[in-house]
């Protein structure tokens, strides 16, 4: 079923506000989920709303944010999110990083005691709107073993880098440092489908296409083997360690509903005008992109894509035609609506 953006946004905001989240913060959280669903990244879309609400009800995520600046210099800051919603804390951090880079040319804002913040691209793209380059990273609960290991020690630690261009869209890299985000395994399990080979193993380290086996004590595998694991390790250092927050095995799973999570982020912003003319940079960025788009194609390949281009294309179509939600997600949202005593997603707002 495909729904209007306004319908999904109203539903999500109503649920969050019923849980005690102020309207502005509810809208911030909702926008990141809708943005994910609109780009086809359903692992970070509205399927996350039920677990957010459950963690709020148990006091693990603040319904109303408390965010303090623990340490600050001209181009840097350390923020304590006090276990507020990750989207709200990360938005504050990126806004501060943009403000600092606007004055000092480059900035880095470190965050601790936050929560899951959705897609990293959301925050990186905020900087491109201000003619800046952004690097966004976060740690997560452990999902991956070290190379040759049989114990989870690192999360898939998302990394996003975005730069403006005079082309149709910014150049955007947004990736988890595992072969796949855990949410995609959850999405597969909830919808009763297998996962591709190479995504994960069972609890004995044996490769599997069964998402339940991965989730039941199994492992998500790092992208690129040792290289991906090494990059995830450095993201862990730049987020959890640098902020003074939790890291690695200190962080419980989001789906362990007996414990708080303390997630850390890092927002780095680069003001292009401090290095060169912004228009020239955007034009050169587009030129670089054209080298990719116009490169010779291998047999059977009809089109070459820049990082982020496919997702932007999906988003453009879905903002017009509607955002699809799977039967599994719809069932979970219907249960949530009943629990929270809010109006369910109405069939009259389905786009056929």
Strand order in the sheet with 200-201: 207-208, 200-201, 219-220
Catalytic residue among 42, 44, 116, 265: 116
Helices (H), the chain: 5-18, 23-38, 49-57, 86-104, 121-128, 182-190, 211-215, 226-236, 242-243, 278-293, 309-321, 327-340
pLDDT digits (tens, 9 = 90+) for 114-131: 999 999 999 999 999 999
Quote the CA–CA distance of 65 and 237 in Å, as a whole number.
26
Q: CA-based angle 269:274:277, to the nearest 5?
A: 110
pLDDT digits (tens, 9 = 90+) for 205-216: 888 999 999 999
pLDDT digits (tens, 9 = 90+) for 91-112: 999 999 999 999 999 999 999 9
Statement: residue 177 has pLDDT above 80: yes
- Is 295 in contact with 303 (CB distance < 8 Å)? no
Statement: residue 148 has pLDDT above 90: no
- pLDDT in the model for residue 181: 76
* Known catalytic membership, residue 116: yes
Q: pLDDT-based confidence at 147, cuts 50/70/90?
A: confident
Q: pLDDT-based confidence at 293, cuts 50/70/90?
A: very high
Q: Provide the residue ranges of all domains of the chain, joining segments of one domain with +.
A: 1-62+322-352
* Rounded average pLDDT over 294-303: 97
Q: pLDDT-based confidence at 17, cuts 50/70/90?
A: very high
- pLDDT in the model for residue 174: 96
- pLDDT in the model for residue 351: 58
Average pLDDT, the chain: 95
Poorest-pLDDT segment among 183-197, 221-235, 268-282, 317-331: 183-197
The pLDDT > 70 percentage for the chain reads: 98
Q: pLDDT-based confidence at 350, cuts 50/70/90?
A: low
pLDDT digits (tens, 9 = 90+) for 36-75: 999 999 989 999 999 999 999 999 999 999 999 999 999 9
- pLDDT in the model for residue 347: 61
Q: pLDDT-based confidence at 349, cuts 50/70/90?
A: low
Statement: residue 10 has pLDDT above 90: yes
CA dihedral (57, 59, 61, 63) positive or negative: positive
- How many of the other CB atoms lie within 10 Å of CB of 255? 12
Statement: residue 348 has pLDDT above 60: no
- pLDDT in the model for residue 71: 97
Nearest Cα residue to 92 out of 82, 79, 104: 79
> Of residues 352 and 45, which shows the higher confidence score?
45
Nearest Cα residue to 344 out of 49, 23, 35, 52: 49
Q: pLDDT-based confidence at 352, cuts 50/70/90?
A: very low
Three-state SS string across 240-297, please?
HHHHCCCCHHHCCCCCCCCCCCCEEEEEEEEEHHHCCCHHHHHHHHHHHHHHHHCCCC
Kindly indicate whether the domain formed by 1-62+322-352 is annotated with CATH number 1.10.1530.10.
Answer: yes
Q: pLDDT-based confidence at 33, cuts 50/70/90?
A: very high
Q: First-to-last CA distance in the chain?
A: 7
């Amino acid at each position: 079923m495909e729904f209007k953006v306004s319908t999904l946004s109203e539903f999500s905001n109503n649920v969050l506000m019923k849980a005690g989240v102020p309207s502005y913060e509810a809208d911030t959280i909702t926008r990141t989920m809708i943005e994910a669903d609109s780009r086809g990244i359903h692992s970070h879309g509205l399927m996350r709303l039920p677990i957010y609400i459950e963690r709020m009800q148990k006091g693990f995520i603040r319904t109303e944010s408390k965010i303090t600046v623990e340490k600050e210099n001209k181009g840097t800051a350390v923020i304590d999110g006090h276990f507020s919603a990750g989207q709200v804390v990360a938005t504050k951090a990126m806004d501060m990083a943009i403000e600092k880079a606007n004055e000092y040319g480059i900035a880095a804002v470190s965050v601790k005691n936050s929560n899951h913040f959705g897609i990293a691209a959301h925050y990186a793209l905020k900087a491109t709107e201000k003619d800046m380059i952004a690097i966004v990273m976060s740690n997560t609960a452990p999902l991956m073993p070290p190379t040759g290991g049989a114990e989870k020690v690192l999360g898939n630690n998302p990394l996003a880098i975005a730069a403006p261009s005079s082309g149709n869209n910014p150049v955007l890299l947004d990736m988890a440092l595992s072969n796949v985000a855990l949410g995609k395994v959850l999405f597969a399990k909830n919808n009763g489908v297998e996962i591709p080979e190479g995504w994960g193993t069972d609890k004995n380290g044996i490769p599997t296409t069964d998402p339940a086996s991965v989730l039941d004590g199994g492992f998500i595998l790092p992208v690129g083997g040792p290289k991906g694991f090494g990059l995830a390790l450095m993201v862990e250092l730049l987020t959890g360690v640098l902020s003074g927050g939790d890291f690695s095995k200190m962080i419980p799973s989001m789906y362990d509903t007996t414990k708080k999570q303390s997630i850390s982020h890092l927002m780095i912003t680069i003001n292009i005008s401090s290095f060169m003319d912004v228009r020239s940079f955007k034009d050169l960025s587009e030129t670089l992109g054209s080298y990719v788009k116009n490169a010779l194609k291998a047999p059977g390949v009809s089109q070459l894509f820049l990082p982020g281009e496919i997702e932007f294309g999906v988003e453009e179509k879905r903002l017009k035609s509607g955002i699809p939600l799977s039967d599994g997600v719809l069932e979970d949202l219907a249960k949530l609506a009943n629990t929270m005593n809010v109006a369910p997603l109405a069939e009259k707002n389905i786009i056929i």
